[in-house]
Amino acid sequence: MEHELDLLVIGWGKGGKTLAGTASRAGQRVAIIEASAQMYGGTCINIGCVPTKTLIHDAENNIGNDFDPQYFQTAVARRDKLTAAMRAKNFSMLDDLNAVMTITGRATFIGPRRIKVEAGNESLELEAKRIIINTGALPAIPDLGGARVGGRIHDSTTLQDAPLPQRLVVVGGGYVGTEFASMFAHFGSKVTVLDRGARALKREDEDVAAEVLSALSDVDVEVRTGASVQRIEEDGATARVHYEQHGEARSVVADAVLIALGRKPATAGLGLETAGIELTDSGAIKVDEHLATSAPGVYALGDVNGGQQFTYVSLDDNRIVADAILGTGERSTADRVAVPYTIFTTPPLARVGMSEDEAGAQGLSIKVAVKKVAEIAAMPRPKIVGDPRGIVKFVVDADTDQILGAALMHVDSQEVINLVALAMRQELTSATLRDSIFTHPSSTEALNEVLGSFTR
| 179 annotated ligand-binding residue | yes
Name 166's Cβ contacts closer than 8 Å, sequence gap at least 6. 67, 188, 189, 190, 255
Q: Counting Cβ atoms within 10 Å, is residue 225 exposed (0-12), middle (13-18) or buried (19+)?
A: middle
- 303 belongs to an annotated ligand binding site: yes
Helices (H), 123-271: 175-186, 206-218
Query: CA-to-CA distance for 394 and 61, rounded, in angstroms?
Result: 31
Residues near 417 by beta carbon (within 8 Å), at least 6 away in sequence: 340, 342, 350, 351, 352, 406, 408
- Residue 354: enclosing H or E segment and its boundaries? none
**CB burial class (10 A; 0-12, 13-18, 19+) of residue 224?**
middle
Using an 8 Å Cβ cutoff, are 285 and 293 in contact? yes
Neighbour-count burial of 68, counting CB atoms closer than 10 A to its CB (0-12 exposed, 13-18 middle, 19+ buried): middle
Instruction: Find out whether 174 is annotated in a ligand binding site.
Output: yes
Give the residue ranges of DSSP H helices in 294-445. 311-326, 356-361, 380-384, 413-425, 430-434
**DSSP class of 323:** H
Q: Residue 424: phi, psi to the nearest 5?
A: -65, -40
φ, ψ of residue 444 to 5 degrees: the values are -60, -35
DSSP assigned state of 392: E
Q: Classify strands 248-254 and 256-259 as parallel, antiparallel or unpaired.
A: unpaired
- The answer to whether 292 and 278 have CB atoms below 8 angstroms apart is no
d(CA 454, CA 456): 6
Q: How far is it, in rounded angstroms, from Cα 7 to Cα 335?
A: 25
Is 111 assigned to a binding site? no
Which of 186, 242, 290, 440 is an active site residue?
Answer: 440
Q: Give catalytic status of residue 440 as yes or no.
A: yes
Q: How many residues does the chain have?
A: 456
Question: To 10 degrees, what angle do helices 49-60 and 175-186 make?
Answer: 40
**Cβ partners under 8 Å of residue 210, min gap 6:** none
Q: Which residues are catalytic?
A: 440
Binding-site residues: 53, 172-179, 262, 303
Binding-site residues for NAD(+): 172-179, 262
Binding-site residues for FAD: 53, 303
